[in-house]
Structure 1
Amino acid sequence: MIKPLPLDEAGIISTVLEGMLYGFSLLMFMATMYTLIAGRKYGQINFPMVVVACLLLVSSTIHIASDVKRLYSGLVRFRDTYPGGPPAWFANGSDPSFVFKNAIYTFQTALGDGVVIYRCYMVWRSIWIIILPIMMWLAVCTTGVGCVYTLSQPAADSGDIFVRRTGQWITSFYATTLACNLYATALLSYRLWTIDRNVHGSRVGRGLTKPVLTIVLDAGALYSITLIAALSCFVSKSNGQYVVLDMVTPII
């Protein structure tokens, strides 16, 4: 029988992995800013994407800072004073620091899903094609707010986020953001593929559509696999979901 992962150990592992991915995301952010700004005139800069990229970095920075603070609080500050020790402290789902980091994650998820939908609109140029993704996005926002609100309400079972009171909201949130991301990425990828197929016989050189399509598919697959892992861990009531959850933020 596999021994359950203690929550204090999960906190250490998740923060270390999040820090490694955060460092990589910093490099990706600098590359993104260079691509969006370097060599372009003021009127040529895609400011919405610049703002979104900055918001994603800021939210990811706040999230990892919150995790480092939680690690210090659980393992040092309240180690000998909190009833049950560090594992019990990390298990407290209604702690303000845990609620705050989940609010940041919810905001970042909604922002990231919104970007994918925006890209769909830009390549399809049709509001009708994104009606269903927008409805999914609204479901993501609703379930995300439900998760944060439920966690913020102290209860006798606050030490177990897998109970029905919180579990139904969290499961719904994972499922809706996964569905939204998969559907929007599929729409985007299909449009890029059809564009590449239509110009294949007339273009000179390699073209840019296929490399962009590859990037879109790789990014969508990475995010989707991470969400599936988080959802699977949560449904199976594994503390590994805490590890995967903290990894999602820099991945977005």
Structure 2
Amino acid sequence: MASTELATERALYIGNTIGYVIYGGILFLYAYSTYLIMASKQPMPRRLFYISFGGLQVILLTVSGAANAAFCELMWIEKRNDPGGPSAFFAANLADWYNVFGTATDSAANILTDGLMLYRCYIIWGSRLQIIVIPAIIYLASATMTVMMVIESAMPMSNIWQGLAAQFGISWVALTVSFNVIVTALIISRLLFFHRTVRSVLTDEQRSTYTGLVAILVESALPFTVLGIAYLVTYIKGLSSATAVGMAWGALVVLTPHLIILRVASGVAWSSDTGSRITQTTLHLHHDSSSGSSSMIRKNP
């Protein structure tokens, strides 16, 4: 077996393993977040939205994982003795319907996650529409490239790692990574601005709730963005490791919104008026510092 073929199979195995580990964490997060949301006093439409959104993401990732498992089971067990072995099966069956269906579900999950990130950026920036104009345009272009990639990958003997399908795939990954870089930078800059604004008047607990390290990592989806950049580099270079990185990134596509939903369910996520409440509290504490106490910022998911 050629070293590149072995590296591809190894990357596929590693990617599947990482993906299933993340999948288990997602199931726990969804169950726990759903419990917290149902026990909260949020308006019913909002509760139903987050429960439905998270549930749909879980279904999409389940289908994608099942498709990967079916493909690997056929390649390594059922069809391993076919001419050319697993490597020949891998090259010849990437366009099989179940594999394309798995790619489509993962792509749909990515579209949903990017949409949620766009909405969160809009909320964190105080519902300023002008802030998200450019990210919104990139988001629409990314969604278009995703659809084109899935359609092309369904063509007979198509290969998502080569040819026209790969060109659409690289364009999609480049656009969605660019989108996430911009949105992540906007969210982080906003949170750091408020962190500097309140650090002299609020306690460590109060600051960490909305502008701490965990808040920045989750609200901005920084790990997802960083791994997306790594995936883009390996995809463009045609490295075998792109398979493993891409599958891990595909799982993070669903993990990212579930971490945000958990913050919403816990009552510590940013809402449309969080920025104004932080500012008002800061001004109040500046003018009322002689009282010797500070009032907590009311949590309002």
Give TM class, smaller chain.
Answer: 0.7 to 0.9
Partner of residue 130, structure 2: 128
Bigger mean CA offset, 222-231 vs 190-199: 190-199
2:15–2:247 CA contact under 8 A, matched in 1: yes
Give the deviation of 1:176 after TM superposition.
0.6
- Report the AA paired with residue 80 of structure 2: R
Q: 1:144 aligns with which of 138, 142, 146?
A: 146
CA distance in 2 between partners of 1:240 and 1:50 (Å):
34
- Report the AA paired with residue 184 of structure 2: T
1:189–1:213 CA contact under 8 A, matched in 2: no
Bigger mean CA offset, 99-108 vs 192-201: 192-201
Instruction: Please state if 1:24 is matched with 2:25.
Output: yes
Q: C-alpha offsets along residues 85-109 of structure 1, whole Å, 9 cap, x if unaligned?
A: 2211122332222211111111011
Give the deviation of 1:172 after TM superposition.
0.8
Unaligned ranges ≥5, structure 2: 254-301
Partner of residue 156, structure 2: 154
Percent of residue pairs bearing the same amino acid type: 24
Instruction: Please state if 1:85 is matched with 2:104.
Output: no
2:80 aligned counterpart, secondary structure: coil
2:20–2:65 CA contact under 8 A, matched in 1: yes
Alignment of 1:174-193 (within 5 A): 174-193=173-192
Give the deviation of 1:178 after TM superposition.
0.5
Give the deviation of 1:110 after TM superposition.
0.8
- Report the AA paired with residue 70 of structure 1: F
CA distance in 2 between partners of 1:84 and 1:178 (Å):
36
1:25 aligned counterpart, secondary structure: helix
Question: CA separation of 1:244/1:205 partners in 2, compared to 1, >3 Å: closer, same or farther?
Answer: closer
2:170–2:232 CA contact under 8 A, matched in 1: yes
1:80 aligned counterpart, secondary structure: coil
Q: C-alpha offsets along residues 213-234 of structure 1, whole Å, 9 cap, x if unaligned?
A: 33336x6231122212222222
Give the deviation of 1:64 after TM superposition.
1.0
| RMSD (Å) for aligned C-alpha atoms | 2.4
CA distance in 1 between partners of 2:102 and 2:88 (Å):
18
Q: C-alpha offsets along residues 104-137 of structure 1, whole Å, 9 cap, x if unaligned?
A: 1110111111111010111221222111111111
Partner of residue 162, structure 2: 163
Bigger mean CA offset, 192-201 vs 84-93: 192-201
CA distance in 2 between partners of 1:188 and 1:151 (Å):
34
Query: TM-score of the superposition, structure 1-length normalised?
Result: 0.86
1:37–1:45 CA contact under 8 A, matched in 2: no
Question: CA separation of 1:163/1:71 partners in 2, compared to 1, >3 Å: closer, same or farther?
Answer: closer
Question: CA separation of 1:197/1:13 partners in 2, compared to 1, >3 Å: closer, same or farther?
Answer: closer
Query: TM-score of the superposition, structure 2-length normalised?
Result: 0.73
Unaligned ranges ≥5, structure 1: none
Bigger mean CA offset, 142-151 vs 92-101: 92-101
CA distance in 2 between partners of 1:138 and 1:162 (Å):
23
2:148–2:168 CA contact under 8 A, matched in 1: yes
CA distance in 2 between partners of 1:5 and 1:31 (Å):
41
Partner of residue 3, structure 1: 3
CA distance in 2 between partners of 1:46 and 1:194 (Å):
30
- Report the AA paired with residue 144 of structure 1: T
CA distance in 1 between partners of 2:57 and 2:21 (Å):
17
CA distance in 2 between partners of 1:225 and 1:236 (Å):
17
Partner of residue 75, structure 2: 74
